[in-house]
Homo-oligomer: A and B are copies of this chain.
Amino acid sequence: MRILITNDDGINSIGLHELIKEIEKENEVIVVAPSEQRSACGHSVTLHRPIVIKEVKIDGIKSKAFSVDGTPADCVKIAIDKISSYKFDKIISGINLGYNLGTDVIYSGTVSAAIEGAIYKIPSIAVSLGYDENIELNFSEDKYRLAAEYTNKILKQSSNDRLNDVVLNINVPPIEKNEIKGIKVCELGNRIYQNCYIESPTKEGEIGYKLQGTPKDIDDENTDVYNIKRGYVTITPLHYDLTNFKIIKEVSKWFI
């Protein structure tokens, strides 16, 4: 297969490199990733300034790679409309450091890149690896490698052409291989944040406020937030139709 790989942590992130190493073994890979960290950028696209594209060489990787000073969604658009002259069979976005579970997917650059792929009718995968704040941030490459292996496995099992506008959102718990209980296909759960803004000076010495949120999960079975805690790799199929069909009839009655 011909596969586009992108992410939101940027072209230099270990998660991206481990993913490429695994996927380029058996596929033709093109890498188009943001030049810097772009977490929580949602489905942002760059309209008001030109975007710079640079071909780069990543150590230990044979695939062609491009760095783009834009968002993950920009990377997908540019890869399809500018860099590549023929179609990708799949798009994979990741491996993100930190889960993208439940309501959080809406803020996620990693997931938005995959959704952008689906808008182009290319089946796409987003993959994120959880981290425990007690462990060192830049933890061992083993965990990324395990997440990459799961991604490759899911990629092979999901090669179903009829579902061309589907995003599979994968989350992998940061545990040992033999502790993983298996794969669960499930719904997005509910993560509600207890947010607060902490006073914090800006670079210019002004008073600013920085967001600190603590997630509170609602533990419904069949959800990703439930199953990830129980040692499963979770897969949630996503779509991008935001129409609320459940209430469209009721809302219609208000305006008759």
Contacts and interface: CB of A to CB of B under 8 A. Distances in A.
The residue in A77, A107, A243 that gathers the most chain B C-beta atoms within 10 A of its C-beta is A243
Contacts of A106: 43, 115, 119, 240, 242
Interface stretch (A11-19, A46-54, A140-148, A173-181): A46-54
A42 B248 contact: no
A161 interface: no
Contact of A51 (B73, B112, B210, B250): B210
Contact of A251 (B53, B103, B237): B237
Given A103-B240, A196-B81, A47 B188 contact: no
Contact of A208 (B51, B246, B250): B51
Nearest to A81: B195
Contacts of A119: 103, 106
A84 to B, nearest CB: 12
A235 interface: yes
Interface string A30-59: 000000010111111111111111000000
| Size bin of chain A's contact surface | 35 or more
A15 B78 CA distance: 32
B242 A188 contact: yes
Nearest to A246: B239
Interface stretch (A21-29, A88-96, A128-136, A198-206): A198-206
Interface in A208-256: 208-211, 235-248, 250-252, 254-255
Q: Which 3 A-B pairs rank lowest in CB-CB distance, beginning with the nearest?
A: A50-B208, A42-B43, A42-B42
Interface of A: 37, 39-53, 73-74, 77-78, 81-82, 103, 105-107, 112, 115, 119, 154, 157-158, 160, 163, 166-168, 183, 185-188, 195-197, 200-203, 206-211, 235-248, 250-252, 254-255
